[in-house]
Amino acid sequence: MSKKITPKKALITGISGSGASYLADYILDNHPDIELHGTTRSNSNLKNIENRISKINLWTDILENKDDLTEMLRHLKPDLIFHIASYANVRESWDRVPFVMENNIKMTADLLEAIRLAEIKPRIQICSTPEVYGQVDPKNIPINESCPINPSNPYAVSKFAQESLGYSYFKGYGLPIVITRMSTYLNPRRADLFATAFAMQVARIEAGLQKTLLHGNLESTRTILDARDCASAYWTALERGIPGQVYNIGGIQIVSVGEFLDILKKKAACPIPSEVDPKLLRPSDVTLQVIDSTKFMDQTGWKPQYTFEESVALLLEHCRREVKK
């Protein structure tokens, strides 16, 4: 466990995104004395933070200009940087390979170089994914950090490149970087995740706005975590994690995509017919992603606080509310 600090300023890249907005909520609710900053783009939808904007210092399009970013960091001197910003749609990454590489890898390189040039050493979290392990041999389940890296989609390739950049700046320049590989989590604010897409369609069918739920591959098995637990884990990673380390972070509940769909169908207010949509199938899919979080929990003392049932309830409540709007 690293030496505990008392941070005064925190910066979240991509703060208006779904996962990052939950982190913003966590910091504002649990560490109200921290001066919170976040990066966005001029075309970003701020819906996820609209009730928090008055408490967040926003920097628009700053990640797109390394010189401006360097000057901002030199002036701001944040104690914590959570690098969450990324293009994260696995299925669509196959259709936008050059963009995903340019966006995810170059953005991370520019950020790390700007931190170096600003001559600051904040604690830095690089948000990665178990997708970097690719299709794992069943003998390596549950997946711990020693599992071989074998990314099998463009998004995963870009995330492993981010990790590698982070480790090189840790080794070469002593930047205190922690890498987190966050497992599948129930995130009501992100519509392109399978769980949210299913729940939204259930709500639409209940409301008479849709007849059939469309889905892709149902055979994939995942470790499921609540988005709120995800946010607390990110904070804990910088508060108590060891720089230079990689941490798998996941929930306790193990469920297949098909099983999750069945759970939603049972909770629905009416029958939910469903069928495969070929457009939702990936050219290459990771079908076994059961995460071992032992290292992270042992080194930091973190553990999930929300049950699977609470997470599903939050997801359905959000989707039904959105459909009513």
Q: What is the DSSP string of 244-308?
A: T-EEEE--SEEEEHHHHHHHHHHHSSS---EEE-GGG--SS---EE-B--HHHHHHH-----S-H
**Residue 240 predicted with pLDDT over 90:** yes
Q: What is the pLDDT of residues 11-50, one digit of tens each?
A: 999 999 999 999 999 999 999 999 999 999 999 999 999 9
Domains of the chain: 9-185+226-251+291-304 (3.40.50.720), 194-220+254-289+312-324 (3.90.25.10)
Instruction: Determine the average pLDDT of the residues in 199-219.
Output: 96
Q: What is the pLDDT of residues 272-325, one digit of tens each?
A: 999 999 988 878 777 789 999 999 999 999 999 999 999 999 999 999 999 998
Collapsed DSSP state (helix, strand, coil) of residue 50 = coil
The predicted pLDDT at position 205 comes to 98
Q: Which of 94, 225, 236, 116 is nearest to 171 (CA)?
A: 116
Instruction: Please tell me the distance from the alpha carbon of residue 87 to that of residue 96, in angstroms, as a whole number.
Output: 10
- Work out the mean pLDDT of the chain and round it to a whole number: 95
Q: Is the pTM of this model over 0.85?
A: yes
The predicted pLDDT at position 281 comes to 82
71 burial via Cβ count (<10 Å: 0-12, 13-18, 19+): middle
Instruction: Determine the average pLDDT of the residues in 113-140.
Output: 96
Residues 31 and 236 sit within 8 Å (Cβ to Cβ): no
The predicted pLDDT at position 2 comes to 58
